[in-house]
Amino acid sequence: MNWLKRLFGVGSPESETATSQPAPPTVEEMNRVMPAYGQLMEKHAAFVGAVFDETMLPVPKARLEFIIFCAIGVPEDEHQAQQVAAGLLQLADYQPNVGPEPVTQLPSLPHPASLTTPEAIRAAAEAVSAHGRASRYSEFEARVKHDLDRLKGLADKALAVRAARAKRGIG
């Protein structure tokens, strides 16, 4: 945990306030939250490109970000660390005020085998077009992109810290 203290400046006078410094996650917290988040990601994997309400997360989003950031340094295997970093990026799909139903970019499409006539194809195309106009996805698209860029920066930082620790032989 010393690398966390150095990374976040714990112990320096400007970081001693409780509001500016989150408490490092405990092993118990990581062991409880990470599997719960993994199960949520598995459950939502079928909804490609969907945005979910952040209240579905096992803990508040800011805390989960910090836990995942810290968890990137835990696995000994680089591939596993990359997977944890990918989980951090998935947090962009969880936004406030989405509601209980996910917001999708595209509607559910009919099975291709059912599109046997020009009328059926036209109806499916019209449904996609209507969904695009009526979808709330555009409300969240900019937030998701901004969040993704921010989370990518966090993941890159965590992976860089991990690499620096490995180079120095700190484990």
The answer to whether the Cα torsion of 49, 50, 54, 57 is positive or negative is: negative
Tell me how far apart the alpha carbons of residues 59 and 112 are, in angstroms, rounded to a whole number.
40
- How confident is the prediction for the chain on average, in pLDDT? 83
Tell me how far apart the alpha carbons of residues 124 and 117 are, in angstroms, rounded to a whole number.
11
Q: State pTM to two decimals.
A: 0.71
Residue 81, judged by CB atoms within 10 A of its CB (0-12, 13-18, 19+), counts as buried
Q: How confident is the model at residue 117 (pLDDT cuts 50, 70, 90)?
A: confident
pLDDT recorded at residue 156: 96
- Residues paired with residue 103 on neighbouring β-strands, in sequence order: 51
Tell me how far apart the alpha carbons of residues 87 and 108 are, in angstroms, rounded to a whole number.
25
Beta strands 52-53 and 94-95, pairing class: parallel
- Residues paired with residue 94 on neighbouring β-strands, in sequence order: 52
**What's the pLDDT tens digit per position in 122-160?**
887 777 666 555 567 778 888 999 999 999 999 999 999
pLDDT recorded at residue 120: 80
Largest CA distance in the chain: 72
**What's the pLDDT tens digit per position in 25-84?**
999 999 999 999 999 999 998 888 899 999 999 999 999 999 999 999 998 889 999 999
Pair 110, 56: CB distance under 8 Å: no
Tell me how far apart the alpha carbons of residues 81 and 163 are, in angstroms, rounded to a whole number.
11
